[in-house]
Structure 1
């Protein structure tokens, strides 16, 4: 039987924290850890430095390998022989690792994206690291992308169902309106025609602009 994603996240967090790796939970697992009723399909983690993907391979269950020919890149997993994949996509340089832990897919990535370095974007921007929030997961500290930045991602990707589920579970009074406004504004740099749903506009109008 597969372990729950929460158990796997806590296990991974203990190891990454023990190695003092700078990391941040992103994607659907981050949304769920913020208390939203979504079930993550995997665990997505951003790391601050490319070398930390290889450092993670030393403390995660990395097979000795090699695994032989892999016909589909989606089937690739990190091994001791090849702990990371390095590739370019849309002008961005990726250092990527993938593990199956307790039946849960765990992906780590460092993305070097100089064109968006000054924008508040989930995963790809250095700025978002300054806004990380520490969330507890079974006694382990999990640095997590802010939900406000995730809301902007959902708007940009037109993930309407996930967006509405997230807003329904949020305490609107706790939303950082300043951060949400910045994240949406920065998404518009890439997509000037971005349309903001009325539900998000209400958050912007009523969100508390925290200064802490």
Structure 2
């Protein structure tokens, strides 16, 4: 009997302390997949799937882009066509969507953050094909990736939340909660969600926002390992 698993973590605050990006991935995992995830992944997969601080940087995001392009095509039983532009890719991955995210932006500042006219993909076809091969390998071993979403909080939104008493760590945690709810709805079934470490918070339930009052069970929590 399989389960639906969600993995969520913060991607960081960007090169200039913004925006805050939090990403979640949904997968259907059978018994073979459970065994795979409990062991060290094969070396060829670990070379492309590890701590992002080791694999990508603001100077070279090609690998991260390749994963995003591959995962954006995962949509349940069928694979969707590839995104043709970075703007299209963002719309597929964004939990909020650019229309909502740009609403607070002053018109004069919008091109600075949201101008995409000169944006092009940086990952070459060979790299994207290699990552798509990893996705196929995982599926063949019982980990079928069903979707990915990212939540984006710009500096203005972080400052707005701070004024209401929600600090950056709270904003991070609440973004994780929204991703859990969105991906769980896509799964249409019970999910097991694993959230990355948020600041010095050891007991997330004390700070729940969107998940407060929702039926859930905490299986394990504690300090970062």
Structures share fold, TM-score greater than 0.5: no
Greater relative CO (CA pairs within 8 A, separation 6+):
2
TM-score (norm 2): 0.30
Task: Give the TM-score of the pair, scaled to structure 1.
Answer: 0.32
